[in-house]
Amino acid sequence: MTKSGIQFKGIEELYDGLMQRANDRSTVKNIIRKHGGQLVQKTQSNMGSAYTGHMEGGKHVMPTGATKRSVKPQIRRSGLEVMVTAYTDYFPYLELGTRKMSARPTLKPAFEVQKRLFINELKQVMK
């Protein structure tokens, strides 16, 4: 199975710009860590409302919460990058859907909200 993900172009240029403009690298690292944690919380919250269980043999089966518990931030590049994902094999099917199951996106909507907050906070630091 291939792993799904989002790839951004221009990250190296953004990194270089941040390091040139930021007065204090620890401030940038703290912002990144904070927003990574908030992204985890928002994603898990979305999962609580999106994953309501499934039908199995004509009976409703409650969700186990395994995908919600598997959402973790991974701090990389000396604290200047955070990757958030759910570590269950079937998460991409839940997020993106299949031909037999509609998508139940949880990470992307959380990312879209958090992205705006993150950018606004970085703009304040760069002033």
Q: CA-to-CA distance for 74 and 84, rounded, in angstroms?
A: 6
What backbone phi and psi angles, to 5 degrees, belong to 5?
-175, 175
Query: pLDDT (tens digit, 9 = 90+) per residue, 45-83?
Result: 999 999 998 889 999 999 999 999 999 999 988 888 899
- pTM of the complete model: 0.82
**pLDDT at residue 123 greater than cutoff 90:** no
Q: What is the DSSP string of 24-91?
A: -HHHHHHHHHHHHHHHHHHHHHHHHHH---EEETTEEE----HHHHHEEEEEEGGGTEEEEEE-STTH
* Structural tokens at position 70: 């598997």
Q: CA-to-CA distance for 103 and 86, rounded, in angstroms?
A: 15
Q: CA-to-CA distance for 119 and 116, rounded, in angstroms?
A: 5
Query: pLDDT (tens digit, 9 = 90+) per residue, 78-97?
Result: 888 899 999 999 999 999 99
pLDDT at 79: 85
